[in-house]
Each structure stands twice: as C-alpha cells, then as structure tokens.
Amino acid sequence: MFNSDGRLQVIRAVAGLFLFLSLLSHSYGAEGPAAPTDLRCEYLSNPLGIDVREPRFSWVLHHAARAQGQTAYQVLVASRAEGLERDAGDIWDSGKVASSDSIQVVYAGKRLANGETYYWKVRYWDTAGNASPYSAAAQFEMGLLSRDEWKGQWIEGDMLRKEVTLDGKVVRARAYVTALGYYELRINGEKVGRNVLDPAWTTYPKRVLYTTYDVTRRLRSGKNAFGAMLGGGWATLGARFFDPEVGPYYKAPALLLQVNIELEGGKTVSVASDGSWKASKGPIVSDSVYDGEVYDGRREIPGWDQPEFDDSQWSTAQTAEGSQGVLSAQMMPTIRVIDSMVPVSLSNPKPGVYVFDMGQNMSGWVQLRVEGPAGTQVTLRFAELVYSDGMIDRQNLGAAKARDIYTLKGEGRETYEPHFTYHGFRYVEVTGYPGAPNLDSLRGRVVHTAVGTVGSFVASKQILNDIQRLIHWSQLTNLFSIPTDCDQRNERQGWMGDAQATAQEAMMNFDMAAFYTNFIRDIRDAQFPDGSVPDTVPRKYGGVPGDLGWQTAYPLLCWYMWEQYGDRRILEENYDGLKKYVAFLRSHAQDNIYRLHWEGDWVELAHTPGDYIADVWYYYDVSLFSRMAQILGKSAEAASYGQVAAQIKDALNRTFFDAKSGNFANGTQTANAMALFLDLVPKEHRNAVERNLTDDIVYAHNTHVTTGFIGVKFLMPLLTSMGRSDLAYELATQTTYPSWGYMVKRGATTLWELWQEKTGPAMNSQDHIMFGSVGAWFYNALGGINLSPESVGYQHIRIAPQVVEDLTWASASVDTIRGTVSSSWTHSPEFITLEVAIPVNSDGQVVIPTEEQMTDVVIREGDRVVWENGHYVSGDPGLTGATREGRNIIFQVGSGTYSFRLTAGE
Ligand code: BGC
C-alpha cells in the first residue's frame, strides 16, 4: 500500500494523535495528578440495578508526569448528587486511605438500600503526595435485594397488558422485569429500553436475571398502560431438539414484572404482574430461537399498549409457578441491535427467488421493508453459504429452520423485524416478495451482547489484519448472554471448551469482565452435586460429566478473571465450587491418572489420545487450584494440592512420556505442545521434545498445524516462549490448508468450525470462535502486550514485541482495567522504534530486541540517549534502569508514554 517510510509516518501520526487526544481529554493540571476517569462499579460505568451488597470500585488514573502512581485514595458515596458536589459522602467517605489500590476497591460504607441510587467519585494522591481533583460523579443503583421485595407473580400469555391510574406527578419510577423466555416491555405505546432477546439465558429453575429500567419519563399522571410481548427463547425451546431430560424448561413463556413508582408528595405505588393482567394472542404466530419467527401483520392489535384500550375481549392472564429460583440483577451488557448493514448485492437465481448478500457473516436478523396486498406472505430464509447457482446452501444448519415469515397488513409501506429469534447468516433468500425487491428492501441488523471493544491490533502483514477481523466478528457473533459455539444451527450452546479456549483472546479485544463474571456464576449453577460441570452451560448438550477440556473452563475462566482484572472475589466466591470440582477429578483418577474423555483435541487433524489430554487438564486444574489457594492465603491447602499436582506430573511422565523418542503420548503437535507449555517435561529432555515439535511442524507438515482447537491454544504462546515466534508467525500467516489464512483466502468472513473448508453438512459451521485463540497471541507476541509474570490486573506490564521476519510494524493497544496499555513498533535492518504507553499506577519492563548484525546499539528515548556502549544511560524521566539479557535490552519503566528508537552503533 505504501512504502515503509509512509507506514512509519502513519504510525507516528496515529501515535501523535493518540497522545494529543489523551492530553485533551484528561485536562492535566500543570504538572500534577489529573482527575480519575472510567469509574466503574462492579465492572460497569453507571449500573442500574445491582445486587451486590459490597460492590467494588475501580478507576483509571492520569498524570502529567511519568512514573506516577497512587499512594492514597478517597472515595465518596452520596445519596444525592448535590451532596457529592459539596464533597460530602453521607453514605461512605472512605477518608484518605493510604493504598495503591485503584481497582477492585471494596465498598465499606453504610448498608446499601434496596432500589436506591448512589453517586460516587474518587480522588487520589500521587507518589509525591499531591491530591488530584475529584473525578466526575458516576452512579450506581441497587436492585431488588431480596425475593421478599418482589410482589408480583409469574404470568403467562403472548401479549399481556394492564392499565394503572396514577394520581400525581411521577418523580421516579423503576421497572424490574424478567421473563422465562424473552420479553418486550412496552409502556404507553413505546418499547422500553434497547435490550433485545432479554433476559440472559440462565439455568432458569435455579436463577433468573432481571433488568432494571428507569421509566420515570414514560409515566404520567392519569392513565398508563403497561404491555409485554413474550417469546419462548431458551425457556420453551426443546422438544424437537433436546433429550427429554434437558428438554424444555417450561411449557410457555412467563413474565415477572414490578414497577416501583414514587409520586410527588412521597406516595409510592407498585405495579406488579399478577392475575389482574389481561392476555391475548398477538401477531406472533410462532417464535423459536432456532426456527425463526412467523408474524402475521394482520393480527396486530392497534393501541393494545396504550391507555384507554378496550381489552374487554381479552382473557385473564394465567398465573404460573414459573421459576422459584434466585432472582438476580443482570449486571452485564445486554443483547442489543449493534449495527445496521446494507446488503452488498442482490441476485435472482430463479423466478421469484431473491438472494441478498450481506457481504459479512453476521448474527441477528434483517429488517424487511415491503409494500403489497394484505395477506401476502414473505419468507426470509437465512444461510451462511450459497451454491454455485446462487441458491442458498442450508445444509449446515442442522434442524434449525432459520426462517422468518411475515404476512403483510396491506397498509402501504411496512417494516418488519422479528422479536424473539436470531440467525447466523450472510445470505438471505426472499420469496413471496410482492414485486421485485431491491437493495433497500432489507437491512441487516447485527445483534449480540453489547460488550465494549477494548483492544486493537494492526500489523504490516495484511493477512494478520484479515484474521483479526474474522476473530472480531466470530467472537462478537458468539456472545449471546453466554459464550456460544456458533450462531446458526441448532446448537448455539455454551460449550465450555470453546469458551475457555478463546477467553484470553476475548479479554484482549473486548470488555469481558462483567460477561464472564455472569458466565462463571452460570457454571456454578450448572455444577452437578458430585462437583463435575457439564460440557455446555446452561446444560443442554454434551457429555455428563463434560470432557475435561470443557470442564476446565470453570477453573480457567476464574483464573483469567484474576489475571486480567485482578478479581480476587471471583476466586473467593468459587473456591468451594472449584474444590468440589477438584475432588471430583481426584475421585475419578486412578494412580494419579485421569483418563475419562470425549472430545479430546476437538476438530484435530492428527489424533492425540484423549486420555493423555484429559490427564494434562487434570494436572493443569489441580495446579491452578493450588495457586488459587495460595492467593487466598490458604497455604496449607495450597501445599497439599501442590503435592497432588506434583504426583500427577510424575504419573503423566511415567505413563505418557517416552524418553527415548522425546515424545509425549503419540508425539503429535498437541501432545508435545501441551506438555511443554505446562512444563511437564523433565529438564534434560526439554530440547528433544521441543525439537520433535518443531520438526513435526516444519518437516512433517510443511509448516502447518495438525492440532484441533485445544492444541493450538497452547501451541502459539508456547512457540513464543521457546524463542520460536518466527515459526509461530509462519503458522499465523500461512495461507494454504490448514491455516487461518486459508479460511481468509477461501473468502471466510468469520472463522470456521473446521480447518477443512467442507467435509459434509453436519459439522461445517462457518462461524465458530474456537480457533480464535490465536487472537491472544497477536496481542501478546506481535503486539508485545503482556502481564509481567505473577502480576495481575496490569499492575506490572511486560512489553515484549516479537520482531519477526517480514513484519515491519505492528501496533496493539488494550484499555485495561487500569487504563490504556499500548505498544507500537516499526522495524528495518537499521533501526527499531517502539512506542509504549503504561498507565499511571502501573509500571513495566520494555523488552527491545536487537538484530544479530547490530553489535553495538544505541537506544534513544525521545531525544535522550538511554543505552550506549553496552550500558544503560540514566537521566531519562520514567526510566529506572536497563539490562541486557541475550539479544534483548530490557528497560524498567514507570507509567507514561515512551518513544524508543534503537539504531546500530554510530
Ligand atoms: C460444537 C463445538 C463443541 C463440540 C464439542 C460441537 O457440536 O459446535 O464447538 O465444542 O461440539 O462436542
């Protein structure tokens, strides 16, 4: 596209702009600390309806100077915004707390009350003891903290309504709403909120999540109408798809709602779902997550969600037992319509059959725009693929009908979007359209859980950017309140293996903290009494107990939450559950070997024995548990589980290692990579095993992977830790089969389920995230952004970009819980530049690799020389030292932005 100088200029310009913008947005004081930003309470900026009695606060610090941190903080929590403005924390004034904690600070004020809104802000003292200004105020609000607060009953019906007269001005109103299935809440003729496919799918009999809406402005003095449409969602889906044992949770969807209203003068009114509501059939003829929605516009009931509607013909809503499980606040981003897509082309492969191409495999649905006679039926069928004749290919959808059918009202221009289904598709076949549709007749609606994007990765090699784009799409389209395997066929399940394999990638790209917090609780809810956990959560599919590569999601996700977000509470809350899980593993192991397995290295090309893989997981899980015990201060348990892990390691070596050949199990890439990654290999054999692994990749397979998605997660970071990022890079940029690049070259816009392009209809999803684990390697290895060993929550950061082969630049940044960490480098035979940002209250090591031919190097930071004649040159603010380790020169840096330039000696 442009020459290397041009690239350099672009990078510089981007970096400069970044700096300029951050200066602008943080309004630095002359030299001192600036007000904290990005205030979070339980991982959300302004959460409405949380049910954590002692929520945790996190904030991001800013400072004009380098090497700055927090020596103390003060948090104020107030019951009124005005109080906070006067710096009065009537609910909690932490006082000046001497602490460097700027994340996960646990609330310690007065008991937080049901439904109350609180306002909070924070300031900090820097390393010199200067106080920052207070941050802007953020708020959080408590939900309904106990079941007793819920006054309503579960009620059933397609469309439900209730009219209420309020005699006074409404000063505050909150709607707490949930459903077994999906709901759309309407007040006085309008949809409330932007959530779709709400609430999250949970193991409903154990737990249902409610959403809180501020509906103050929707209510008025006088008559008000509340309405709800219900869909079956995951609650009623089943009979055709699942074993009876895990079949439909319920026969019909149900609603539970409560609106708490405060009127002027202090009077309070509660509107709750109960037998006084009215019910009717509505325009939705049928709805199913897998099959789609059938909607008859002629059955719409105008005005049903408005006051003064005559519902005398409606029946009385049926109360239902519903779920007696825990009602928990939904404290994570919800599913939303994120974007609209214009189709890129339209074809007419057969008379009356129109096929729209969205240009991108996506999750969601389409908005249909149509005009025609009443009763005309338009059918939309969704597909990821097309045949060569242009007709849609739906062989890979399994039993999912994946279609929406709309019957026209015949009242001029009509638009239709389904309410309670979603599809995974790139192509939409339209039949029955009155007249000929054009590109304006459809709009793609991109739908998924609305997690924020926190990461970016770009590099000079286009194929990497293409793969990154596929990962982005595959990851997002597989977030539907739980992490799913795919979004199109009759699965879309919380397959735990897929979840654990890709969680690290997901956490670099997106703000996953609240999402995984919720999912980990889902896992806990799905845990069996014997301590094992299922293959899928909530449990619908898979083996019982799950394969260990799937069950391991329980300890691994907890561990990643600890690493990425410094979340100690998640370790505390799951300690007992994990202990039970480990006990289950131990009770099924014989002579320290756990052999039970189903999936093994799923979708592998070279088979690795499943009992070996299971046993490696066993070792991994027990060692992690021992480390968690240590972190929580349970030293005796840590030691005893550490011993168990050591015994498993011995048994693994005795049983699966062949010292003669230097191979674990049958010596596949997966077998040796897992052993090396987990440091199972006796020291004296490490070189041999490493050589076997790289020989297998390079010579036996012409630099291609043979792993499934389990093996590849280990393989890429392992190669980097072995000093073979060059080889990992070749795998990552490979474009022949099997590789990620092959998918790109074959026109994929999301990652496939298999390395193979097409094997047969059954397992041929075009949108699986599980191979997306390589995305973490992009950030860690090519971008160079890593946690320092033993550090969590980005307190200590290691910037160590792997400057490889023909890659001339790479740029990565992640908005971590402590602030933005970024690393951008350029490389030519004569120089290396590296721009780094370390957040305030963090520090780092910056590892600058030298080229072999660069015997005597000079490194400048800005315009100061910081390394010369083989030594560190002190004096640059923020740097505290540097050493050479092999070919790397490693700088110790405090917070701030740095611009290193390494040149061959002059
Ligand atoms: C899913 C996978 C899953 C696997 C395990 C498949 O059908 O799509 O992603 O991990 O089953 O059995």
Q: How far is the CA of 767 from the centre of ligand 1 (A)?
A: 12
**Over 90: is that where the pLDDT of 443 sits?**
yes
Residue 431 neighbours by CB under 8 Å, 6+ apart: 352, 353, 354, 378, 379, 381
Predicted local distance difference test score (pLDDT) of residue 25: 44
Predicted local distance difference test score (pLDDT) of residue 579: 98
Q: Ligand 1 pocket, 767 CB below 6 A?
A: no
Tokens of 332: 């994570």
Q: For ligand 1, what atom is nearest to the CA of residue 496?
A: 10
Look at the block and give the residue holding tokens 């009114």. Answer: 269
Q: Which residue's alpha carbon is nearest to atom 9 within ligand 1?
A: 485
Average pLDDT, the chain: 95
- Residue 763 pLDDT class (50, 70, 90 cuts): confident
Sign of the CA dihedral running 201, 203, 204, 209: negative
CA dist., res. 677 & res. 588, Å (int) = 24
Q: For ligand 1, what atom is nearest to the CA of residue 498?
A: 10
- Residue 159 pLDDT class (50, 70, 90 cuts): very high
Mean pLDDT value across residues 276-300? 98
Q: Where are the domains of the chain?
A: 12-141, 147-332, 336-449, 455-783, 796-904
- Residue 238 pLDDT class (50, 70, 90 cuts): confident
Residue 660 neighbours by CB under 8 Å, 6+ apart: none
Look at the block and give the residue holding tokens 């990749």. Answer: 697
- Residue of 396, 477, 484, 493 to mutate, ligand 1, most atoms within 8 A of C-beta: 493
Q: How far is the CA of 26 from the centre of ligand 1 (A)?
A: 46
CATH of 455-783, one of 1.50.10.10, 3.30.460.10, 3.40.50.2300, 1.10.3720.10: 1.50.10.10
Q: How far is the CA of 495 from the centre of ligand 1 (A)?
A: 6
Predicted local distance difference test score (pLDDT) of residue 906: 53
- The sheet with strand 159-166 has its strands ordered as 190-191, 182-187, 222-231, 159-166, 278-280, 315-316
Q: Ligand 1 pocket, 485 CB below 6 A?
A: yes
Q: Ligand 1 pocket, 602 CB below 6 A?
A: yes
Give the angle 835-841-846 at the CA atoms, nearest 5°. 30
CA dist., res. 838 & res. 819, Å (int) = 8
| Equal fold, 12-141 vs 336-449 | no
Q: Which CATH architecture has domain 12-141?
A: Sandwich (2.60)
**Over 70: is that where the pLDDT of 759 sits?**
no
Mean pLDDT value across residues 404-429? 98
Residue-wise DSSP of 394-449: -GGGTT---EEEEE---SSSEEE--SS--EEEEEEEEES-SS---GGGEEEEEEEE
Q: Ligand 1 pocket, 498 CB below 6 A?
A: yes
Q: Tens of pLDDT along 775-795?
A: 999 999 999 999 999 899 999
CA dist., res. 343 & res. 362, Å (int) = 12
Q: Which CATH architecture has domain 796-904?
A: Sandwich (2.60)
CATH 2.60.120.260 fits 147-332, yes or no: yes
**Over 70: is that where the pLDDT of 16 sits?**
no
Q: Tens of pLDDT along 361-378?
A: 999 999 999 999 999 999
Q: How far is the CA of 239 from the centre of ligand 1 (A)?
A: 20
Q: Ligand 1 pocket, 599 CB below 6 A?
A: yes
Q: For ligand 1, what atom is nearest to the CA of residue 598?
A: 12
Q: How far is the CA of 758 from the centre of ligand 1 (A)?
A: 16
Q: How far is the CA of 493 from the centre of ligand 1 (A)?
A: 8
Return the bridge partners of 74, or none.
Answer: 123
Give the angle 269-275-277 at the CA atoms, nearest 5°. 70
Q: How far is the CA of 275 from the centre of ligand 1 (A)?
A: 43
Q: Ligand 1 pocket, 497 CB below 6 A?
A: yes
Tokens of 52: 């954590």
**Over 90: is that where the pLDDT of 905 sits?**
no
Predicted local distance difference test score (pLDDT) of residue 247: 82
Q: Which residue's alpha carbon is nearest to atom 8 within ligand 1?
A: 485
Closest to 272 measured CA to CA, from 174, 200, 184, 196: 174
Tokens of 775: 């995305």
Mean pLDDT value across residues 7-21? 46
Q: For ligand 1, what atom is nearest to the CA of residue 486?
A: 8
Start-to-end CA distance of the chain, whole Å, equals 32
Q: How far is the CA of 550 from the centre of ligand 1 (A)?
A: 10
CA dist., res. 90 & res. 602, Å (int) = 56
CA dist., res. 427 & res. 325, Å (int) = 40
**Over 50: is that where the pLDDT of 314 sits?**
yes
Q: Tens of pLDDT along 800-818?
A: 999 998 999 999 999 999 9
Residue ranges of alpha helices (H) inside 746-799 are 774-777
Rg of the chain on CA atoms, in Å: 29
Q: Which residue's alpha carbon is nearest to atom 5 within ligand 1?
A: 599
Q: For ligand 1, what atom is nearest to the CA of residue 763?
A: 7
Indicate the DSSP class of residue 195. Answer: B
- Residue of 485, 500, 544, 769 to mutate, ligand 1, most atoms within 8 A of C-beta: 485
Predicted local distance difference test score (pLDDT) of residue 855: 67
CATH 2.60.120.260 fits 336-449, yes or no: yes
- Residue of 487, 491, 547, 771 to mutate, ligand 1, most atoms within 8 A of C-beta: 491
Predicted local distance difference test score (pLDDT) of residue 854: 66
**Three-state DSSP class for residue 63:** strand
CA dist., res. 722 & res. 790, Å (int) = 19
Tell me if 526 sits within 8 A of 203, measured CB to CB: yes
**Over 60: is that where the pLDDT of 3 sits?**
no
Mean pLDDT value across residues 569-597? 97
**Over 60: is that where the pLDDT of 289 sits?**
yes
Q: How far is the CA of 753 from the centre of ligand 1 (A)?
A: 9
Predicted local distance difference test score (pLDDT) of residue 1: 31
Closest to 291 measured CA to CA, from 340, 232, 362: 232
Q: How far is the CA of 496 from the centre of ligand 1 (A)?
A: 9
**Over 90: is that where the pLDDT of 686 sits?**
yes
Look at the block and give the residue holding tokens 């193991």. Answer: 203
Of the chain, the percentage scoring pLDDT greater than 90 comes to 92
Q: Which residue's alpha carbon is nearest to atom 6 within ligand 1?
A: 485
Tell me if 249 sits within 8 A of 205, measured CB to CB: yes
CA dist., res. 596 & res. 615, Å (int) = 8
Q: Ligand 1 pocket, 89 CB below 6 A?
A: no
Q: Ligand 1 pocket, 491 CB below 6 A?
A: yes
Question: Three-class SS string for 285-351?
Answer: EEEECCCEEEEEHHHCCCCCCCCCCCCCCCEECEEECCCCCEEEECCCCCEEEEEEECCCEEEEEEC
**Over 90: is that where the pLDDT of 761 sits?**
no
Indicate the DSSP class of residue 547. Answer: P
**Over 50: is that where the pLDDT of 53 sits?**
yes
Q: Ligand 1 pocket, 486 CB below 6 A?
A: yes
Q: Which residue's alpha carbon is nearest to atom 2 within ligand 1?
A: 485
Side chain identity at 498, as an amino acid letter? D
Give the angle 770-675-498 at the CA atoms, nearest 5°. 15
Predicted local distance difference test score (pLDDT) of residue 11: 47
Q: For ligand 1, what atom is nearest to the CA of residue 542?
A: 12
- Residue of 384, 475, 602 to mutate, ligand 1, most atoms within 8 A of C-beta: 602
